[in-house]
Amino acid sequence: MGAPPDALARVESLRQQLALHNYRYYVLDDPLISDAEWDQMLRELIDLEHHYPELISADSPTQRVGATPSDEFASARHRVPMLSLDNAFSDEEVRAFDRRVRERLELADTAPAVRYSAEPKLDGLAISVIYEKGQLVRAATRGDGTVGEDVTANIRTIRAVPLRLNGHAPALIEARGEVFMPRAGFEQLNRQAAERGEKVFANPRNAAAGSLRQLDPRVTAKRPLEIFFYALGSVEGMTFPVSHSETLSALKELGLRVSPETAQVEGAEGCLQYFASLQRRRATLDYEIDGVVYKVDSLVSQSRLGFLSRAPRWAIAHKFPAEEATTLLREVEFQVGRTGALTPVARLTPVVVGGVTVSNATLHNMDEIERKDVRIGDTVVVRRAGDVIPEVARVVISRRPSDAQAVRLPSHCPVCGAAVRREPDAAVARCTGEFSCKAQRKERLRHFAARRALDIEGLGDKLIEQVVDAGLVATPADIFTLTRGQLAALERMGEKSADNVLSAIERSKETTLARFLFALGIREVGEATAAALAQHFGSLEALLGASFEQVQQVPDVGPVVAAQLTDFFARDENRRVISQLQQAGVRWPRIDSRSAQMDQPLTGLTFVLTGSLESMSRDQAEDRLRALGARASGSVSKKTSYVIAGADAGSKLAKAEALGVPVLDEAALIEILDQRRLPN
Ligand code: IVH
């Protein structure tokens, strides 16, 4: 009994629609339907194929996962060798590459700049995918460049790889690209592995490679793999385009995903500009790249340039400085933070990581040390990404000396000698010395005087060290008792600097309740919570009088924060400091909380400010937005309502544009603040 014609028609139509929507989603990055609608169509197709198995075809989207795992991968010989790339590590090496290209092409000095295609160097693994008459027939890893492994069954499970090409496909086309695992997917995969007590992958590239080299395609199907295509291998029944950029357009038209970051640039200087701009945006990409590839765009020029051993003369990979390096862990010391938390810090043999010399790196806490099995004397991998604090990523176990020593949590604070307490189930160990611990004192004062707190200009790390060591200041209230004579007597302080500091201290007295609460350094009370508390209670007195339950009425305040607050305000010492501060003249405008709450036209909106504003500082703008009920955040996400971009806005602006978050300029911000509403 054959399938009825309408079932056949429906199956065909579903497959076509599913392929179209996959193309819109992955290749054009412009989906027309929701994931749920896509899933529903797929389910309908699965049902139909279940009823009429004779309608199943190899290119049906239901057939991505083949049933049988294999014992080993078959080898696959490449029709055209898969080459590697030469590397450049400096601007000078890129200029030298461009000069070599010009010489080989016999271009006169006066001839125009060479046009290059510049694209991200994706950190995954190279793959070749062959389509015959539009059908995916084979996929292979690069292997040694001549022979790779046949991973067709696994590549078929990657949804971004079409099983059938769009439109009028040539007799044969071999597309080459990079399979990679996006950061978010990698982190989730590792979290799941850790929960099950399984081995985690060191980085997304290893995770991608490990996922593709699974003998059971059902495992690969569960891994979040993606792909960008960046080259043609061999083709039959189609004329080659004339340039690399046209090749990419042709791939895209056939339904093969290419990187949206690719650009055409002119000469070495164009390459270097592209490099700098991609390096700035690197952290905003949701996958890892390790540099930029420049390719001579004209294919005629490419063939004139030819190859040298395993790499083409017409392309080069310009690598970002390595973000990881190995070095020796000489010692572990414990730093005491504002809340007494002991942070283990690795003292290293200095090493250059990402272009910066690193001699200290964080080990986070004792749990991390145990998890990574870090010992003193180990050779460790240090990682530094963007602006984050360098960390010890892992140990090179094979290089562990026999006398490597375990790291011990000290029983007493290395600064004040008070007992160290580690609460059960908590990763953090703390010094119990509180204000009597000089390290905690200094950190609390540093926090109190910081720009986003009381903003006491000139009272920096160095001066805090001095006034605490000299016994002049122990609590924030003591700052306001400092005299000109005391300050001027300190090393490297003259009367002039003393006066400057004193007037900064004077200016800081005029503040806001939110800043004041934040400045107190109560555990779990960051800027946003402080602002919410100020807004809700309107006055310090109201907050001090609030019960544990009442504090939890504030948005975002749960039992943990509430416990910290009530604990903090219950202590005589803290109450005393607060009243001393008020007596010293620290003051803020009263917030009429009821009317303030009713008059919060920007409630529910999140703003991110970036770049510099002309008419006010970023902090001032954030304070004013908060006063209207908005949230001010430091990072752009899909949840951001608006990004306000001042002059020289950088990566946050780029990210907003990438995510489609509306961007406003300073004039629009001023209008919002003045009109107390969003522009029309
Ligand atoms: S082109 C003849 N383009 O880098 C040129 N490769 O170091 C062959 N790679 O094996 C490759 N991103 O795995 C090219 N946009 C890109 C790339 C890229 C990453 C990898 C690829 C290749 C390796 C060479």
CATH topology for 5-65 is Helix Hairpins (1.10.287)
- 5-65 and 600-675 in the same fold: no
CATH superfamily of 513-595: 5' to 3' exonuclease, C-terminal subdomain (1.10.150.20)
- Report d(CA 612, CA 619) in Å as an integer: 11
Give the homologous superfamily in CATH for domain 324-421: Nucleic acid-binding proteins (2.40.50.140)
Pocket probe mutation, ligand 1, options 82, 84, 232, max atoms within 8 Å of Cβ: 84
**Rounded Cα–Cα distance for residues 178 and 127 (Å):** 6
Confidence band, pLDDT 50/70/90 cuts, at residue 386: low
What pLDDT is attached to residue 675? 79
Band the pLDDT of 595: cuts 50, 70, 90.
very low
Cα-to-centroid distance, 70 and ligand 1 (Å):
29
Question: Residue 324 is encoded by which pair of tokens?
Answer: 């990881």
Predicted local distance difference test score (pLDDT) of residue 627 = 75
Least Cα distance to 166 among 227, 253, 235 occurs for 253
- Going from N- to C-terminal start, the domains of the chain cover 5-65, 94-319, 324-421, 434-507, 513-595, 600-675
Q: How confident is the model at residue 230 (pLDDT cuts 50, 70, 90)?
A: very high
Per residue, what are the HEC states of 466-488? Answer: HHHHCCCCCCHHHHCCCCHHHHH
Terminal Cα-to-Cα distance of the chain (whole angstroms): 64
Ligand 1 pocket residue status of 315, Cβ below 6 Å: yes
pLDDT in tens, 507-545: 999 999 999 999 999 988 988 889 889 988 888 988 988
- 84 alpha carbon to ligand 1 midpoint, in Å? 7
In the annotation, is 652 catalytic? Answer: no
Q: Name the average pLDDT for the chain.
A: 90
At 587, list the tokens: 């003051």
User: How would you class 479 by CB atoms within 10 Å of its CB: exposed for 0-12, middle for 13-18, buried for 19 or more?
Assistant: buried
Cβ atoms within 10 Å, residue 637: 12
Residue 461 is predicted with a pLDDT of 92
CATH (residue range 434-507): 1.10.150.20
* Predicted TM-score (pTM) of this structure: 0.58
- Say which CATH superfamily domain 600-675 falls into: BRCT domain (3.40.50.10190)
573 falls in which pLDDT band (50, 70, 90)?
confident
Q: In this structure, how many other beta carbons lie within 10 angstroms of the beta carbon of residue 176?
A: 20
Q: 427 C-alpha to center of ligand 1: Å?
A: 42
Which residue's C-alpha comes closest to atom 13 of ligand 1?
Answer: 126
Are 587 and 509 spatial neighbours (Cβ–Cβ below 8 Å)?
A: yes
* Residues 536 and 554 sit within 8 Å (Cβ to Cβ): yes
Strand partners, 395: 380
The DSSP element (H or E) to which 77 belongs, if any, is strand 75-77
* Pocket perturbation via mutation, ligand 1, pick of 80, 87, 122 by most ligand atoms within 8 A of CB: 122
The Cβ of residue 451 has, within 10 Å, a number of other Cβ atoms equal to: 10
Reported as a single tens digit per residue, the pLDDT across 607-660 is 999 988 888 888 878 888 887 778 888 888 888 999 999 888 888 888 898 888
Task: Calculate how far, in angstroms, residue 425's C-alpha sits from the geometric centre of ligand 1.
Answer: 46
On the question of pLDDT at 388 being above 80, the answer is: no
For 436, which DSSP code? G
CATH class of 94-319: alpha beta
Work out whether strand 342-353 and strand 324-336 pair parallel, antiparallel, or are unpaired. antiparallel
Amino acid at 296: V
Residue 654 token pair: 């780029």
Three-state secondary structure call for residue 284: helix
| Residue with more model confidence, 229 or 367 | 229
Lowest mean pLDDT among 104-113, 244-253, 562-571: 562-571
Tell how strand 379-383 and strand 391-395 pair up. Answer: antiparallel
Q: Are 317 and 88 in contact (CB under 8 A)?
A: yes
The H-or-E segment that residue 315 falls in is: strand 315-319
Atom of ligand 1 nearest to the CA of 83: 2
Helix axes 183-195, 204-212, angle to 10 degrees: 80
Q: For 275-330, how does the pLDDT look when each residue is reduced to its tens digit (9 = 90+)?
A: 999 998 988 899 999 999 999 999 999 999 998 878 899 999 999 887 888 999 99
Quote the radius of gyration of the chain (alpha carbons, Å).
31
How far is residue 284's CA from residue 272's CA, in Å, rounded to a whole number?
19
Sign of the C-alpha dihedral computed for residues 65, 68, 69 and 73 taken in this order: negative
Q: Is 293 in the pocket of ligand 1 (CB under 6 A)?
A: yes
